[in-house]
Amino acid sequence: MDTFECVKSALLKKVRGLKEITIESSFESLGLDSMETVDFILTLEEIFDVTFDDEDFLKINTIQDVLSLIDSKKH
């Protein structure tokens, strides 16, 4: 499963009722408030065995932002 599919799967488990998730989706447009977004990002840290620092959290607004950060941390 590629990174996007893993993120999408985790998000679908976390937020009920989501129908469409794209790379361009913002967490706000998916109905997550700032605390829910942070909680979800912490979940992704566990899934992908990466650590985001405080500056990283400030850069995350969309699924693409998360994918880019995961990619940068894994390489």
pLDDT at position 48: 95
Q: How many residues does the chain have?
A: 75
Residue 35, exposed/middle/buried by CB under 10 A (0-12, 13-18, 19+)? exposed
Look at residue 75 and tell me whether its pLDDT is greater than 80. Answer: no
- Beta-bridge partners for 62: 26
Place 66 in a pLDDT band, splitting at 50, 70 and 90: very high
Distance CA 30, CA 11 (A): 9
pLDDT at position 18: 86
- Domain ranges, ordered by start, for the chain: 3-14+27-74
Per the CB < 8 A criterion, the answer to whether 23 and 62 are in contact is yes
Query: Is CATH 1.10.1200.10 correct for 3-14+27-74?
Result: yes
pLDDT tens-digit map of 24-51? 999 999 999 999 999 999 999 999 999 9
